[in-house]
């Protein structure tokens, strides 16, 4: 087996067809995680009676276990729950008709929600309390103050963490190959084993991921610069 540089390019082109799947998984899980995570973060910050402690435990548990165990627990546990539910409610829906990618999306959303809640929480805590008080003092209601005053500033403060988590989820999406979703890693495995050129195929996959990561970093950097315009300090 000899190193075949030209096959790296062949593999690269073949792998490009799997990029949308990877990006889809990443975007959906980050977006879902952000929504869920914001709810969790608010529950914790406002110390909502029952939900607050539950959220704390949830975040600790999810962050303390590997992403792959979430995926496997959802993949093997969810069908039983769905089947039990539809049997007791008399639906004709069966878990066999759930596409594989749905399990990945659900599992990764759960993973992302825990990490995102920490991102959102740290962002919210970085906003000075006086901002909320000032908003109240000019007559805004709390939801108004949150939406107009606190969230924009929290977003700016959380952006670096957000892009980190986003990259983390991009890298984590490679795990979807274990539940037969054909994303970049699975495609690399297919290309590698059909041509018996493992090194070249994975090298191409690595290059794609590297490129995507650098792209996300750059975009986040540019966005950060733009969003922090208000925050330049000084007197001018």
Partner 1 sequence: MPGAKFDLAYVFDYFPKLLSTLNVTLTIVGLSIVLGLGVGFLVALPRLYKVPVLKRVSEVYVSFFRGTPILIQLFLIYYGLPEILKLANVDVTRTPVLVFVVLTYSLHAGAFMSEMIRAGVAAVDRGQVEAAYSVGMTGPQAFVRIVLPQALAISLPVFANLVIATLKDTSLAFSLGVMEMTGKAQTLITVGQHFVEAYLVLAIIYFVISFALERLFRLLERRLLRHEKTENADRKRFGRRGSPSLRGLLAESASLPKGGSGL
Smallest gap, in angstroms, from Cβ of residue 44 to partner 1? 9
Smallest gap, in angstroms, from Cβ of residue 217 to partner 1? 8
Residues near partner 1 (CB under 8 A) are: 1, 3, 45-47, 60-61, 63-70, 72-73, 76-77, 79-80, 83, 95, 124-132, 150, 154, 167, 170-172, 174-175, 178, 185, 188-189, 192, 198-199, 202-203, 205-206, 209-210, 213-214
Q: How far apart are CA 171 and CA 112, in angstroms?
A: 12
Residue corresponding to tokens 């966005």: 223
For partner 1, the closer of residues 132 and 223 by Cβ is: 132
Smallest gap, in angstroms, from Cβ of residue 75 to partner 1? 8
For partner 1, the closer of residues 36 and 124 by Cβ is: 124
Six-digit token pair at 103?
A: 């399990």
Smallest gap, in angstroms, from Cβ of residue 228 to partner 1? 18
For partner 1, the closer of residues 106 and 150 by Cβ is: 150
199 vs 11, 16, 110, 189, CA distance in Å?
Answer: 10, 17, 33, 10
For partner 1, the closer of residues 66 and 99 by Cβ is: 66
Q: Vertex 111, ends 74 and 22: CA angle to 5°?
A: 85
Contact criterion met (CB below 8 Å) for 114 and 63: yes
Going by C-alpha positions, the residue among 187, 191, 184 that lies closest to residue 208 is 184
Residue 2 C-alpha from the chain's centroid: 38
């Amino acid at each position: 087996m000899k190193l075949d540089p030209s096959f790296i390019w062949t593999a690269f082109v073949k792998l490009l067809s799997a990029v949308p799947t990877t990006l889809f998984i990443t975007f959906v899980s980050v977006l879902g995680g952000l929504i869920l995570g914001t709810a969790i973060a608010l529950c914790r910050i406002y110390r909502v009676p029952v939900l607050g402690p539950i959220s704390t435990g949830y975040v600790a548990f999810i962050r303390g276990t590997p992403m792959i165990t979430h995926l496997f627990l959802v993949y093997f546990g969810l069908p039983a729950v769905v089947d039990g539910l539809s049997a007791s409610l008399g639906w004709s829906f069966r878990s066999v008709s759930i596409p594989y990618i749905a399990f990945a999306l659900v599992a990764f959303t759960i993973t992302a929600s825990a990490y995102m809640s920490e991102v959102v929480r740290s962002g919210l805590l970085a906003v000075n309390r006086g901002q909320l008080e000032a908003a109240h003092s000019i007559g805004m209601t709390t939801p108004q103050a949150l939406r107009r005053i606190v969230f924009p500033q929290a977003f700016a403060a959380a952006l670096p963490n957000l892009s980190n988590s986003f990259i983390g989820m991009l890298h984590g999406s490679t795990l979807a190959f274990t539940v037969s979703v054909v994303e970049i890693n699975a495609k690399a495995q297919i290309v590698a084993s059909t041509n018996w050129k493992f090194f070249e195929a994975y090298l191409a996959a690595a290059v794609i991921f590297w490129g995507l990561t650098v792209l996300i970093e750059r975009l986040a950097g540019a966005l950060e610069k733009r969003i922090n315009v208000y925050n330049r300090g000084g007197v001018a």
